Structure 1
Amino acid sequence: MINAESTRWVANVPVATVWTEPGKVRDIDAFGTGEKTDINKWIKAMSPEESMDLVSSNRVQTQLLYGEPVLIDEVVDGWAKICAVWQPSKKDERGYPGWVPLAQLKEVDALSEAGFARVIADKAQLWTEDFKPLGVAPFNAMLPVKEVGEFVRVQTPGGDAFIMGEQVELAPSVDRIAKGSGMDVAQLAAQFLELPYFWGGMSSYGFDCSGFSYNLLKANGVIIPRDATDQAEAGLEIDKDDESVWQIGDLLFFAYEEGKGRLHHVGIYFGNGLMIHSPTPGKAVEIIELAGTVHEKELCAVRRFTENGEADF
């Protein structure tokens, strides 16, 4: 267990995948489970069937971004049972639970006095003090700030590093990111068009549907639950049967059996009858018309987290 007063455990790779249990890992997943990861190679290595198997066999829970803190409950055979404290979930009131290779975590000093630098670029290069490449931080990664300038000095699991000031936004904490509007949410979402879907994905290497909505809201100052089923019970309820009251940036939820069965998908309303979403394995972030699609029949809820150009809380 960590000492919450002086140190914390954080992700030590650009993206650490959180598994339902260690036994769910397959040979093909080596690029995502080693001490060094390569998400791009992992995605390319998987066949469509192997990618879908991440979903159908309930292998992956979520992902952690570089520097994201976790609580460790226990360590078994090189695997850590963790809670992702920045990802709200009904599965555990402390944060999203699951298993991560211990080699992908590192204990660091618990710094927060100067706030955090949140990566706003798709991916940002980190540099050592003598200007050598240290690693890459993906979109929405948040690293403790040590010094602000043209290059921001941040704490990373690999030691102090510098990141270009224009590639980050400063925030006091994860729950005090600058607020954005529903239009901001939609415009930012469009920057990820054609990014491949990835089950459990929480990064600019690949999102799943609820990872996409979670990260777009987080980037605009609103922390929502990690999973779509929990997201559908949060925010402000909007009449799903009256499209005229929907606003750009609202979240649209979909369930089997024409909206009466199990909830299985979430997208972001793009205005004018359009939705932007990360659909399913084998596909990529896209904007679609709702009319005439299965989504039109399966719509089960609309929730609002931003309103009138500003977040509603």
Structure 2
Amino acid sequence: MEYGICNLSVIPMRAEASDKSEQVSQVLFGETFEITEWKDNWVKIITSIDDYPGWIGRLQFNMLGHLAYKRIKQTPPPITHRAVTQAWKINNNSILYLPMGSSLSFIEGTTCRIGDEKFEIIGEIGETENMAVTATSFLNTPYLWGGRTHFGIDCSGFTQAVFRSQGFNLLRDARMQEGQGYALNSLHDSKLGDLAFFENADGAIVHVGIMLNNEKIIHASGKVKIDAIDEKGIFSDELKRYTHKLTTVKRMF
């Protein structure tokens, strides 16, 4: 088995080995993965944090040895405070702008190493902030299929990013996340941090959001926004109608 680690700010992960293929997710700075296939200028990978498969460009990462990969996977990286904004690449004096959720592999103080590259982390590496503060920092982030950053995010990427800031790993897609945690008896029992899941006409899970309390939800739909929610689902004040049908509310931890 071969392994890799992302040494760029954020790279697209595609369904097929083509620039024209849809983006299904993104790999952030410092995240690791297993390599399962090589094809021309593409590499098929399975991410370490959520076992998600996809294709990335073969020039957009560094190779990683088995022992280094195992050490990173067994030792969770420090939670990155959202004030961590940049990584100064000492080798060539360049700057990478880091998205929230980046993994600071092999960090010693404020220095981070990825292979032969050495980075100085610019910003504060602090304690976990309140979930509501992290979640609302994404307000007005545009919806982007497969996105995981403040520059574009999808519904499950949003929940995953916020929960990761709290030290809890969610799986990648809404239908996968619905299999985690335990169901609440009623929406009225929900509190900050519970996840609400929504289904389409066929009964498939197609959307997820974070409960702020038992009447308000923050979610990515067009953009990250706060809407009212009741037993029927999400009511959009902008559209003056229900937009998502509620199926279950779950507590993750």
- State if a TM-score over 0.5 links the two structures: yes
Residue 206 (structure 2) aligns with: 264
Whether the aligned pair in 1 keeps the contact of 2:195 and 2:251 (CA below 8 Å) is yes
Residue 160 (structure 1) aligns with: 118
Residue 53 (structure 2) aligns with: 97
Whether the aligned pair in 2 keeps the contact of 1:143 and 1:154 (CA below 8 Å) is yes
CA distance in 2, matches of 1:250, 1:67: 28
CA distance in 2, matches of 1:187, 1:298: 26
Letter in 2 for 1:223: N
1:19 is matched with which residue: 14, 21, 26?
14
RMSD across aligned positions (CA): 2.7
Whether the aligned pair in 2 keeps the contact of 1:252 and 1:303 (CA below 8 Å) is yes
Shift, 1:187, TM fit: 2.5
Do the aligned partners of residues 82 and 297 (structure 1) sit closer, same or farther apart at CA in structure 2, a change above 3 Å counting?
closer
Residue 200 (structure 1) aligns with: 146
SS at match of 2:27: strand
Shift, 1:123, TM fit: 5.8
Per-residue CA distance 1:270-306 (angstroms, 9 max, x = gap): 1151110111xxx211111125726576100111113
Per-residue CA distance 1:62-113 (angstroms, 9 max, x = gap): 11101210100110111001101111xxxxxxx1111111111211462649
Do the aligned partners of residues 235 and 295 (structure 1) sit closer, same or farther apart at CA in structure 2, a change above 3 Å counting?
farther
SS at match of 2:223: coil
Long gaps (5+) in structure 2: 236-240
Whether the aligned pair in 2 keeps the contact of 1:122 and 1:138 (CA below 8 Å) is no
Shift, 1:246, TM fit: 1.0
Residue 252 (structure 2) aligns with: 305
Do the aligned partners of residues 141 and 297 (structure 1) sit closer, same or farther apart at CA in structure 2, a change above 3 Å counting?
closer
Shift, 1:157, TM fit: 5.5
Residue 254 (structure 1) aligns with: 198
Whether the aligned pair in 2 keeps the contact of 1:255 and 1:299 (CA below 8 Å) is yes
Per-residue CA distance 1:40-71 (angstroms, 9 max, x = gap): xxxxxxxxxxxxxxxxxx82221110121010
1:127 is matched with which residue: 81, 88, 108?
88
SS at match of 1:211: helix
Do the aligned partners of residues 296 and 103 (structure 1) sit closer, same or farther apart at CA in structure 2, a change above 3 Å counting?
closer
CA distance in 1, matches of 2:144, 2:90: 34
Do the aligned partners of residues 156 and 255 (structure 1) sit closer, same or farther apart at CA in structure 2, a change above 3 Å counting?
same
SS at match of 1:189: helix
Residue 35 (structure 1) aligns with: none
SS at match of 1:127: strand
Residue 74 (structure 1) aligns with: 37
Letter in 2 for 1:77: D
Per-residue CA distance 1:251-274 (angstroms, 9 max, x = gap): 0111113xx622111011111511
Letter in 2 for 1:137: L
TM-score (norm 2): 0.84
Shift, 1:221, TM fit: 1.6
CA distance in 1, matches of 2:198, 2:44: 31
Letter in 2 for 1:203: T
Long gaps (5+) in structure 1: 3-7, 27-57, 88-94, 171-177, 307-313
Whether the aligned pair in 2 keeps the contact of 1:134 and 1:161 (CA below 8 Å) is no
SS at match of 2:26: strand
Per-residue CA distance 1:217-248 (angstroms, 9 max, x = gap): 11112112111001112101112xx3321111
CA distance in 2, matches of 1:66, 1:197: 21
Whether the aligned pair in 2 keeps the contact of 1:117 and 1:154 (CA below 8 Å) is no
Give identity over the alignment, percent: 28
CA distance in 2, matches of 1:288, 1:297: 11
Asked if residue 286 in structure 1 is aligned to residue 225 in structure 2, the reply is yes
